[in-house]
Amino acid sequence: MLKEILVIDDNPDIRSLVSSILKDQNFEVRTAANYDQAVFEINKKLPDLAIIDIKLDKADKDGIDLLKLVSKQNKLIPVIMISGHATVAIAVEATRLGAYEFIEKPFSKEKILNYVKRALESSELKKEKDIIENKLFHSFDLVGKSPSIMKVKKIIEKLSTSESRVLISGPTGTGKELVARKIHKNSLRSKEPFVIINAALLKESTYEKELFGEEFEDGNVSFGALERANKGTLLIDEVSEIPYETQANVLRVLIDQKFKRLNGSKDIYVNIRLISSTSKSLENLVKNGKFREDLYHRLNVMPIELTSLNSRTEDISLLIKYFMEKLSEINGVIKPNIDINNDNLYTYNWPGNVRELRNLVERITILSSNESKSNINKLIEDILNPSTSSLSNKDILEKSFTSPLKEARKHFEKEYLQIQLKKNHGNISKTADFIGMERSALHRKLKELGIKGIN
């Protein structure tokens, strides 16, 4: 498909020259002779690349304003600025605002073509990167059959036609962003922007700028997350980290659906769906006076709770199979031979939750896809270091060799049965069949050893 370039210059000779050069290279070309024509062409259809002259016909509007307009509509579209009498300050400003390159007149055919081809190549790479990153998130499913995951799936389904605000809570690595993306993808806003702001990564002095944007004395504008997410969905990740003073301003936006940029005087109206996530208890923060109660109730219209992987070990085997398939496809390698019955996978505590499990599978997929099952088992053991579990093999041996026979047997039986129950997802019948024990006898043994359930 031919690339389309929009050439904006008030000099007819320059427009004609640049158009001829580009058409000779099989580019489709549109032109604009003044500021109003340029705005019309940009709003009618965004080009693949724009070449914009700094000085145009209006005294109060110039090429820099058009650069801002293009960037606001799609920041991935490269813009080459040209001028015959621009200052260094203007060139620096154009670059700061996202211009791919700044060219002084007169310029050669080779120079303009070189910049055009490089700009388009750079744009394609950025687009491919965004597509890959989006595929990584959008292609991953919420995997599991545990009661907690099935409950979350049902809530997501019910939210598909709702505009309710959602608060997703759960430990780090449980998939809060994935759930937020699924909600957006299933909603009526799915074709509109999905914007993320991670409150945990911001400096205290920059929260309001990142949320509301900023206006500068020279007329330039920095758009905040609220404005970028207009008509779509905004995810505030780790919402608990927003400073107490800023929380009042966020509350005001939720009530009025409008705000002012920093240093601005004009109301900016937005229509967004807000999803928040937190790995901390907002209820406890409210009790301790560190989070506004009124904001908490505004955010917590539809709560979703994600539990730790360690509390739903029945999903581990399903997740491993799923990640093996997906990650081998993404990385273009053979699917690894991971033993889903490896005891280490069920005795490990998974402090990083599903994210840590996925990282483990990806590491094995990339580094050991051709290894034997026994070698992969050894690698898993080395990576996970079972000593972090509630009772490691070393602990069992030490207790066994320093205890009377009856007590040592009890230590071993308890750990053995806990592992087998986890591997069989807490199913008593399957565990009894595997270890060769009557179901009723296993029940008595579990009661005797004080094993009440598998976490």
pLDDT digits (tens, 9 = 90+) for 377-436: 888 888 887 444 444 444 544 554 455 656 666 766 777 787 777 777 778 888 877 777
- Please write the tens of the pLDDT for every residue from 272-320: 999 999 999 999 999 999 999 999 999 999 999 999 999 999 999 999 9
pLDDT number for residue 327: 86
* 253-284 core/surface letters (b: 16 or more CB in 10 A; e: else): beeeeebebeeeeeebebebbbbbbbbeebee
Query: 103: which residues sit within 8 A by CB, 6+ positions away?
Result: 80, 81, 82, 83, 111, 112, 115
Helix axes of 393-401 and 405-423: crossing angle, nearest 10 degrees = 160
| Cβ proximity of 148 and 308 under 8 Å | no
Put the strands of the sheet holding 302-305 in their side by side order.
194-198, 233-237, 273-278, 166-169, 302-305
Query: Nearest-CA neighbor of 142 among 302, 312, 278?
Result: 312
Query: How far apart, in whole angstroms, are the C-alpha atoms of residue 387 and residue 344?
Result: 10
Query: 157: which residues sit within 8 A by CB, 6+ positions away?
Result: 186
Query: Nearest-CA neighbor of 400 among 392, 385, 345?
Result: 392
- Please write the tens of the pLDDT for every residue from 115-165: 999 999 888 887 776 655 555 544 578 999 999 999 999 999 999 889 999
- For 4-132, which CATH superfamily applies? Response regulator (3.40.50.2300)
Helix (H) or strand (E) holding 288, with range, is none
| Cβ proximity of 80 and 50 under 8 Å | yes
Instruction: Say yes or no: do domains 4-132 and 150-307 share a fold.
Output: yes
pLDDT number for residue 265: 87
CATH topology of domain 393-449: Arc Repressor Mutant, subunit A (1.10.10)
Residues, the chain, total? 455
* 68-86 core/surface letters (b: 16 or more CB in 10 A; e: else): bbbbeeeeebbbbbbbeeb
Q: What is the CATH class of 310-388? A: mainly alpha
Q: What is the band of 441 on the pLDDT scale with cuts at 50, 70, 90? A: confident
pLDDT number for residue 396: 47
For the chain, the structural domain boundaries read 4-132, 150-307, 310-388, 393-449
**In Å, how far are 39, 45, 260 from 268, measured between CA atoms?**
21, 25, 6
CATH topology of domain 150-307: Rossmann fold (3.40.50)
Q: What is the band of 450 on the pLDDT scale with cuts at 50, 70, 90? A: confident
- Please name the amino acid found at residue 151: K
Query: How far apart, in whole angstroms, are the C-alpha atoms of residue 30 and residue 109?
Result: 18
* End-to-end CA, the chain: 56
The reported pTM is 0.60
pLDDT number for residue 290: 94
Q: What is the band of 454 on the pLDDT scale with cuts at 50, 70, 90? A: low
